[in-house]
A = this chain, B = another copy of it.
């Protein structure tokens, strides 16, 4: 077994599907490789988790994509491996001219990437990223663009839903052990953008400047017990080392009969020494019911500020249900619901980091225009399935705000259009004859959404920390109608085409 990862992730131009390389060589051989081309990246529908559905998505992953673009190169040993590939007839698959061309792609200085910035709300059909580059280069980038944007967008979207369900209470991401390999680092970042407050992923969190969070595990209690101690000894041992961050896991033996009384005893000892406990964690059983009982006992013991952290296969519906059950059941336990809700912390693992129920964003990357004979020639993929047909032409994207300042539609136009507030707008349904006409007083703002992220071989957006990206998301969500944000059967947000783009599309389908 060698010490180097057998299929290691790195910044390689070979982080792509083989057909991108064979197509690029074919373009080169036919002299088409330098033709300017535009590809749109978009998704067809927001994630559908089965029992619940997203009404929007949250853009993420551009930072990872730009990092790859800055470093992507053809390493000499990878070039040798490509050179060793053979056709069915035993000839070299790739010729020297192509390998030299590929080697020269380092720096990607002829690529322009426009994208909706990270943290912003995005919608189906509308391009969230547009690549303009020589045909062979734009082709080569397809896999990497989609790989780097699809997963973080999926996770930021899921985190935004959890944020909504958690009603302002802290959310901690800790799915690292069940996430898909090294994707957990990008996943933790996307979760933070989407709305979790912290992650247990130590390396990723620290590099992002967001303090990681954690408590202790059953194994800590077990280890103390295996050496002759009991749960109380374990709690004391933990509290002694972390007197100001003491959060105790209650369910290693029995939550109400053992964990809770032992925790309260240790909390009292801590307070006697001048420290306030942080709280407790429940990781099994009926979390809503247990939270009520635990809250009551903590209150009675004089620890009304101790948080109650809940974990165990949580997702947005489960959190929603737990909060509802606490409201419904509080009086029968003899406590007020609101103070219990106000001391909850939610730990979300597998269902966030893998987006259980909708484990992929269906983002695609489609050729929409080729510059030929002095003009952009629109291109579309036809399809027997109308929803799979693409919208041709080089594009721009705008968000239209109504008189209340709320987002009322995303408007996809041709690249040379610039709709503005103060002009009447026609919003065409992308798939049929329906349209909306907006009078001047119905539109408060028309905001361009695509920003240049990469051109001339360099990233063109300022680095933003997670807090800034989260603020972007919150600002966008505040301008979404509640119906679009709801967790189940959300209202469908309008994504429209301009009159000119609609006519172009009609002429090609």
Contact = CB atoms under 8 A, between A and B. Distances in A.
Interface of A: 1-10, 12, 14-23, 25-27, 29-30, 32, 35, 37, 39, 62-64, 66-68, 70-71, 78, 81-82, 85-89, 91, 93, 135, 139, 142-143, 146-148, 150-152, 174, 176-189, 200-208, 211-220, 222-228, 237-238, 240-245, 251-255, 275, 278, 284-285, 350, 354-356, 359-363, 365-367, 369-370, 372, 377-385, 388, 453, 459-463
Contact of A367 (B177, B204, B223, B361): B223
Given A188-B7, A200-B19, A202-B18, A223 B379 contact: yes
B223 A35 contact: yes
In the A-B complex, the 10 residue pairs with the closest CB atoms: A19-B214, A18-B214, A181-B183, A14-B203, A3-B70, A180-B180, A180-B183, A9-B182, A146-B177, A7-B204
11 contacts: A5-B185, A25-B241, A26-B216, A91-B244, A150-B178, A177-B363, A181-B186, A226-B372, A252-B381, A284-B384, A284-B388
A6 B63 contact: yes
A354 to B, nearest CB: 4
Contact of A89 (B37, B67, B244): B244
A244 to B, nearest CB: 4
Contacts of A19: 200, 214-217
In the complex, which of the residues A177, A243, A252, A460 has the most CB atoms of chain B within 10 Å of its own CB atom? A177
Contacts of A21: 202, 214
Given A22-B216, A26-B237, A284-B383, A88 B223 contact: no
Contacts of A377: 226-227
Interface centre among A66, A182, A359, by most B CB within 10 Å?
A: A182
A214 B68 CA distance: 23
Contacts of A217: 19-20, 23, 139, 142
B381 A203 contact: no
A208 B7 CA distance: 6
Nearest to A454: B1
Number of copies: 2
Given A219-B367, A379-B225, A16 B185 contact: no
A385 B284 contact: yes
Given A12-B203, A223-B370, A227-B372, 11 more contacts: A7-B188, A21-B202, A22-B241, A26-B220, A81-B206, A147-B181, A182-B183, A219-B366, A226-B370, A254-B384, A354-B360
A247 to B, nearest CB: 10
A382 B253 contact: yes
Contacts of A5: 63-64, 67-68, 185
Nearest to A453: B1
Contact of A360 (B206, B356, B462): B356
A314 to B, nearest CB: 14
Given A22-B216, A218-B381, A380-B222, A227 B35 contact: yes
A67 B6 contact: yes
A180 B354 contact: yes
> In the complex, which of the residues A81, A253, A378 has the most CB atoms of chain B within 10 Å of its own CB atom?
A81
Which residue of A93, A223, A367 has the most chain B CB atoms within 10 A of its CB atom?
A223
B178 A181 contact: no
B381 A222 contact: yes
Contacts of A225: 379
A368 to B, nearest CB: 9
A215 to B, nearest CB: 6
A251 to B, nearest CB: 8
A150 B349 CA distance: 14
A199 to B, nearest CB: 9
Nearest to A150: B178
Given A12-B203, A200-B18, A459-B1, A178 B362 contact: yes
A246 to B, nearest CB: 9
A252 B382 contact: yes
Nearest to A139: B219
Contacts of A275: 89
Contacts of A200: 17-19
Contacts of A453: 1
A134 B217 CA distance: 17
Contacts of A147: 176-179, 181, 184
Nearest to A155: B180
A91 B340 CA distance: 29
A241 B204 CA distance: 45
B67 A227 contact: no
Nearest to A225: B379
B180 A187 contact: yes
A85 B217 CA distance: 20
